[in-house]
């Protein structure tokens, strides 16, 4: 189990959150079991109306929630998303959005996280909830 906050942030930065998160410019700023923070640029992730695409909020939320669930799961286990929902209550048009992920439930086989996404002015733009199933990885052959 990763104990220190610095070790967890290094773990997520080295592991990466996948090629989609990289393409969208997601950057992890803080990472530990009880709180994970990442940000993403609006530019390059907009819909035709020049607002941040609703799916971009969800990608940020899933990246944070799934990585946080995997940190909780620990070595030899894998957390996979089984449900996600989002309520968009604002629109970012420039700068960055920041997602703050906090656990709602950290169980042995299920985790649920809430991710609040705000714009550079601190206005809430989206609230995302994700549930992950924790599975045992098969033993190496």
Neighbours of 7 (CB within 10 A): 12
The C-alpha atoms of residue 106 and residue 132 are separated, in whole angstroms, by: 10
Q: What angle (nearest 5°) sits at the alpha carbon of residue 62, between those of residues 73 and 134? A: 25
Question: Is 62 one of the catalytic residues?
Answer: yes
Map residue 51 onto helix, strand or coil: coil
The C-alpha atoms of residue 115 and residue 112 are separated, in whole angstroms, by: 10
**Which residue in 6, 14, 43, 62 is the catalytic one?**
62
| DSSP 8-state secondary structure symbol assigned to residue 138 | P
Catalytic residues: 62
């Amino acid at each position: 189990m990763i104990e220190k906050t610095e070790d967890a942030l290094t773990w997520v930065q080295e592991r990466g959150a996948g090629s989609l998160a990289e393409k969208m410019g997601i950057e992890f700023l803080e990472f530990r079991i009880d709180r994970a923070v990442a940000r993403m640029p609006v530019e390059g992730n907009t819909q035709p109306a020049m607002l941040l695409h609703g799916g971009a909020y969800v990608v940020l939320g899933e990246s944070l929630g799934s990585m946080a669930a995997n940190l909780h799961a620990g070595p030899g286990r894998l957390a996979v998303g089984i449900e996600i929902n989002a309520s968009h209550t604002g629109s970012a048009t420039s700068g960055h959005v920041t997602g703050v992920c906090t656990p709602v439930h950290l169980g042995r086989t299920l985790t649920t996280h809430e991710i609040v996404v705000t714009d550079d002015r601190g206005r809430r733009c989206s609230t995302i909830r994700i549930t992950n199933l924790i599975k045992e990885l098969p033993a190496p052959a």
